[in-house]
Structure 1
Amino acid sequence: MSRPSLPSSLPLTVREVKDLARSLRGALAPHVRLAHGQALDVLARAAGLPDWNALAARYAGPGLGAPMPILRVYDSGLAHRFYVDWLGFDVDFVHRYDAAAPAFTGISRDQVALGLSEHHGDGTPGSVVWIPVRELAAYRAALLADPAAPLRPGIDRDAPGGPTMSVLDPFGNELRFCEPDL
């Protein structure tokens, strides 16, 4: 049996496929609600492949991919409320060896991908991730518009590299959102 070939109209990078999945979710809402991972699987099946893993593997080529920093978290639910509900990340996948095992969650927003791990030994509490951002003031305003915002971060306009907004997650990890001086 031959492997199906991807139609030439499909995006050329994994990031473009993820963007297409976000667009699909938006187009179907509010009538059909899909998780991000479900939308990725739908696109894979549309390309004649069994699931997202198979589709992502088709895009893999020689060379290095983008890194995924792994942050240590102690409570997946609290991490979800912070990273997804407040910061606006999407859940790409959740992996557990079994129902009682710690979770490893992959999240992303635009070009940023992070791993959130409950596994002892993954990541170090208190890690710092530097995240370049366009329109930092607008992103901050959107975060502060949430009446249940867990934090009220400011912007340090004199930070090295450009205006920076530091946000501490509930587990002591620091996200530094920076609008680089170019």
Structure 2
Amino acid sequence: MNAIVPIFRIFDIPKAIEFYCEYLGFQKDWEHRFGENFPLYMQVSRDGLALHLSEHHGDATPGSAIILQMSGIRAFHQQLHASDYRYAKPGLETTPWGSLDVSVTDPFGNRIVFSETDPSPDSQ
């Protein structure tokens, strides 16, 4: 097994692009529709991590949550704040189990927790 690819349900393509690509810094890799005026299914990725975003009913449940383990969370947090995205101003939270987390919720209720385990104070 090589990777897990989460699927998030989306309902508005421009809002999904704004959040995932413009705010979080993912790139759109590809998109698929079975025909004209059909729901969109697409992949976005960043730093080797892929997410699938789908308008298809039944592909995923709105309000899902994932944890993405990463390094360099302080720099990532600064990048998010520098983008000045109108709908999210996430904090940097130290958890009781020792990770440093940044939690964001997309426009469709899906939550992504970016998490760095045992971050050093100078991990930028």
The two structures have a TM-score, normalised by structure 1, of: 0.62
Secondary structure of the residue aligned to 1:114 is: strand
RMSD in angstroms over aligned alpha carbons?
Answer: 1.4
Offset at residue 180 of structure 1 (A): 1.2
* Offset at residue 161 of structure 1 (A): 5.1
How far is the alpha carbon of 1:77 from its aligned partner? 1.4
Is 1:160 paired with 2:97?
A: yes
Could you list the structure 1 runs, at least 4 aligned residues long, displaced by more than 4 angstroms after superposition: none
Structure 1: segments with no counterpart, 5+ residues = 1-63
* Cα distance change, pair 131–161 in 1 and its aligned pair in 2 (3 A): farther
Who wins on radius of gyration, i.e. which is larger? 1
Counterpart check, 1:173 vs 2:117: no
State the partner residue of 2:28.
Answer: 91
Between the two proteins, the alignment pairs up a number of residues equal to 119
Look up the equivalent residue of 1:141 and give its one-letter code.
Q
| Structure in which a larger fraction of residues adopt strand | 2
Deviation at 1:112, TM superposition (A): 1.2
Task: Write out aligned runs for 1:91-170 (5 A).
Answer: 91-160=28-97, 162-170=99-107
User: Runs of 5+ in structure 2 lacking a partner?
Assistant: 120-124
Where in structure 2 are the equivalents of 1:14-29 lying within 5 Å? none
Q: Distance in 2 between matches of 1:144 and 1:76?
A: 23
Which structure exhibits the higher relative contact order, with contacts defined as CA atoms closer than 8 Å and separated by 6 or more residues? 2
Whole-angstrom CA distance in 2 between matches of 1:150 and 1:95: 28
Change (3 A) 1:116 1:151: same
Find the partner of 1:81 among 13, 18, 24: 18
TM-score (normalizing by structure 2): 0.89
Letter in 1 for 2:114: F
Aligned partner of 1:17 in structure 2 is none
Structure 2 residue identity aligned to 1:106 = Q
What per-residue deviation string (whole Å, max 9, x for no partner) do you get for residues 39-76 of structure 1?
A: xxxxxxxxxxxxxxxxxxxxxxxxx2312110011111
Percent of aligned positions that are identical: 39
Deviation at 1:149, TM superposition (A): 4.1
Give the structure with the larger helix fraction: 1
Query: Residue type matched to 1:107 in 2?
Result: V
Query: What secondary structure is seen at the aligned counterpart in 1 of 2:44?
Result: strand
